[in-house]
Amino acid sequence: MITSCVLFQCRQVQPDPLPLFNIVLDSSVLGVQEVSTNNKVPWELMWGPDNTLWYTEQEGRIYRWDPVSGKRKLLLHITDVAGKTTAGLLGMAASAPDPATGRSYLFAAYTFAIKDSIGLKLVRYLVQKDTLVDPKIIAAVSGFRGHYGSRVAISPDHKLYWATGDGAQQGSAQNTADLKGKILRFNLDGSIPADNPVPGSPVWAKGFRNIQGLTFSDSARLYTSEHGDAIDDEVNLIRKDGNFGWSVIEGNADLTDEKAFADSTDAIAPLLAWTPTIAPSGMAFYNDPKIPEWRNSLLLVSLKDRNLRVLRLSKDGHSIVKEKIYLDKMYGRLRAVCVSPEGDIYLSTSNHDWNPYSKPAADDDKIIRITKVDRITAKVLRGKAPETKVSRENAMGLYRVYCASCHKEDGSGSPGTFPSLRTTPLLDQPQQLIDVFLFGKNTKNNPNRMPSFKFLNNEEAAAVLNFIRKGWGNNNSDSITEAAVQERRIMKKSG
Ligand SMILES: [Ca+2]
Ligand SMILES: [Ca+2]
């Protein structure tokens, strides 16, 4: 430890942790450091008004982590956070100090209990030296069964944006009177700006399923990342009063019904859509000269694909021109990302959350910093291009990309949420098995439903189903044929 003093204020200075890896770009060398360990699902990261890193833990705590001392401090424990799995204390954002009063506000979104469902609210706190005070509810939305979103962002012109999930409620995202499945826009005092599309309504854009990332570029363009259902995770460029298609359109409008809807509503297509899904999460715009190769890019972390994507934007910001993957499968699920004023990048892991991919590391969850360094001192990593095609010849490959995020790589599922495929009685009931696969399954009151996989062709369907019937030594000797899958498709259509 050394001590650093600025204007008579002395703090203990933690020496920089050594990079565990180096990312080598065209000309820059980056260091990957683990700066904070033993956290529990750091869901949101942001740079705080006091020049430290602020982060939430999903269960309800807001911390400040000081990059100089390396120490963390609890700012607030919110005690009425309620809800399971993807609910909790979610996004947050802070306003810059008001020039007149010097005041900053922190805005936090979290779920709370209502009698028969879960509500989601956005609360404003006044920032004080070591704590947050004077909670004021900016907005509250009821009727959630899942898909909560939610992220919060403040625009360069000091408006407050809040992205809500559709609540796993059919029809909510297209219903302008329902605040679920929307991007909402407020003044910092919670009032509704006069230039919102509909007077008196906070709705700014609609047609979203479950936004997990929300970030402004330097030129005030707003970008989102969003979870699709079984297909089509998306990144979108948001436009005022835009309709982004859900729940009629998934990804691009390529099916007949989707095209008709897009024509009649002017629905906006995503900049990028991923099938198989990657489960994108937090996203941050990067434009710092510190890492020139990554300027004008969106940094996007993912839960299912377990990596960091750098999505290079076109000059006008209206399209994504390049996609590169870093830290692939190295830290498990990644939840949040932010950029410091010095151009350093912070990421958080999410291995203690409701749907762990594997056993968390002993010191999970971590906050990781990516910074520029002078030279290579550790193992070298390079970016890679995304895989353009799933290896379809390989049934296990199909299982991995389409099923393992929920039912786990070994088919064991997770108790109470995702049934074990190793032991399901459906293995001996081929017709029912094919039906669940093609058309999905949603037992009453299960907020996690089995999505429909009818978009896979008969060959792929038969391959995956035979894999789960035989792949784990469970040895069902007969095979499901492509013809059998086709027959169930037709039965369903006519039945
Ligand atoms: Ca969409
Ligand atoms: Ca589509």
User: Looking at the predicted structure, is the pLDDT value of residue 267 above 70?
Assistant: yes
Report the separation in Å between the CA atom of 397 and the middle of ligand 1, taken as the mean of its atom positions: 27
The pLDDT > 70 percentage for the chain reads 95
Ligand index nearest the alpha carbon of residue 253: 2
Point out the ligand nearest to the CA of residue 268: 1
Q: What is the pLDDT of residue 331?
A: 97
Which residue type, as a one-letter code, is found at position 51? Answer: N
Please give the model's pTM, rounded to 2 decimal places.
Answer: 0.92
**pLDDT score, position 193:** 98
In this prediction, residue 456 has a pLDDT band, given cuts at 50, 70 and 90, of very high
The per-residue pLDDT for 428 is 87
pLDDT above 80 for 121: yes
Cα 241 to averaged position of ligand 1 atoms, centre (Å): 14
**162 contacts 150 by C-beta, under 8 angstroms:** yes
CA 297 to chain CA centroid, Å, is 17
In angstroms, the CA 238 to CA 221 distance is 7
Task: Say what the pLDDT of residue 419 is.
Answer: 94
pLDDT tens-place string over residues 124-179: 999 998 999 999 999 999 999 999 999 999 999 999 999 999 999 999 999 999 99
How many angstroms does the Cα of residue 275 sit away from the middle of ligand 2?
10
Looking at all shown ligands, the one closest to residue 271's CA atom is 1
* pLDDT confidence bin for 335, thresholds 50/70/90: very high
Name every residue whose Cβ is closer than 8 Å to that of residue 393 and which is 6 or more positions away in sequence: none
Q: CA-CA distances (angstroms) from residue 80 to 92, 292, 485?
A: 16, 43, 48
Mean pLDDT is lowest, of 232-236, 245-249, 343-347, 397-401, for: 397-401
All domains of the chain in start order, with CATH: 19-381 (2.120.10.30), 395-494 (1.10.760.10)
pLDDT at 387 > cutoff 90: no
Tell me whether the omega of the peptide bond preceding residue 247 falls within 30 degrees of 0, making it cis: yes
Phi then psi for residue 493, to 5 deg, are: -65, -45
Which range among 5-9, 110-114, 200-204, 227-231 shows the weakest confidence by mean pLDDT?
5-9
Distance between Cα 257 and ligand 2 center (Å):
9
* Higher pLDDT pick, 212 / 395: 212
Q: Measured in angstroms, how far is the CA atom of residue 13 from the centroid of ligand 1?
A: 46
Nearest listed ligand to the Cα of residue 265: 1
Q: What percent of the chain is predicted at pLDDT more than 90?
A: 85
Taking residue 409's Cβ as centre, other Cβ atoms within 10 Å add up to: 13
Q: How many A from CA of 105 to the centre of ligand 1? A: 31
Residue 441 has pLDDT above 80, yes or no: yes
Question: Cα(233) to centroid of ligand 1, in Å?
Answer: 8
Residue 492: pLDDT over 90: no
pLDDT value of position 117? 87
Decide if pLDDT at 66 tops 60. Answer: yes
Q: In angstroms, what is the span from residue 251 Cα to ligand 1's centroid? A: 5
Ligand in closest contact with the CA of 254: 2
Find tokens 């390989």 and name the residue.
Answer: 394
Mean pLDDT over all residues of the chain? Answer: 94
Number of H helices, E strands in the chain: 6, 28
CA of 458 to the centre of ligand 1 (A): 27
Residue 254 binned pLDDT confidence (cut-offs 50, 70, 90): very high
User: Which ligand is in closest contact with the Cα of 174?
Assistant: 1
207 CA from centroid of ligand 2 (Å): 14
CA 308 to ligand 1 center in whole angstroms = 22
Dihedral sign for Cα 354, 358, 364, 367, please.
Answer: negative
How many A from CA of 64 to the centre of ligand 2?
42
Task: Calculate the CA dihedral of residues 464, 467, 468, 473 and round it to 10 degrees.
Answer: 180
Which two three-digit tokens encode residue 191? 């009032």
Compute CA distances 396 → 249, 424, 474, 485, whole Å.
29, 18, 15, 19
From the list 245, 208, 212, 250, the residue with the least C-alpha distance to 229 is 250
Ligand 1 centroid–CA 456 distance in Å is: 20
Query: What is the 60 CA–ligand 1 centroid distance (Å)?
Result: 30
Answer yes or no: is pLDDT of 5 > 70: no
In this model, does residue 444 exceed pLDDT 70?
A: yes
Q: What number is the average pLDDT over the span 12-18?
A: 78
State the distance from the centre of ligand 1 to the C-alpha of 235, rounded, in angstroms.
8
**Mean pLDDT (whole number) for 415-431:** 90
| Ligand having the closest approach to the CA of 256 | 2
Does residue 2 have a pLDDT over 90?
no
Tell me the CA–centroid distance for residue 396 and ligand 2, in Å.
25
Average pLDDT score over residue span 427-438? 93
> What is the b/e burial string over 237-259, where b = at least 16 CB atoms within 10 angstroms of the residue's CB?
bbeeebbbbbbbbbbebeeeebe
pLDDT at 392 over 60: no
Radius of gyration of the chain (CA): 23
Distance from the CA of 200 to the center of ligand 1, in angstroms? Answer: 25
Lowest model confidence (mean pLDDT) among 41-45, 125-129, 342-346, 473-477: 473-477
Looking at the CA of 250, name the nearest ligand. Answer: 2
Find the mean pLDDT for residues 182-208. 98
Q: What pLDDT, on the 0 to 100 scale, is given for residue 79?
A: 97
Give me the residues near ligand 1 (ion), CB cutoff below 5 Å.
244-245
The CA-atom distances, in angstroms, between 268 and each of 4, 9, 242, 277 are 52, 52, 7, 20
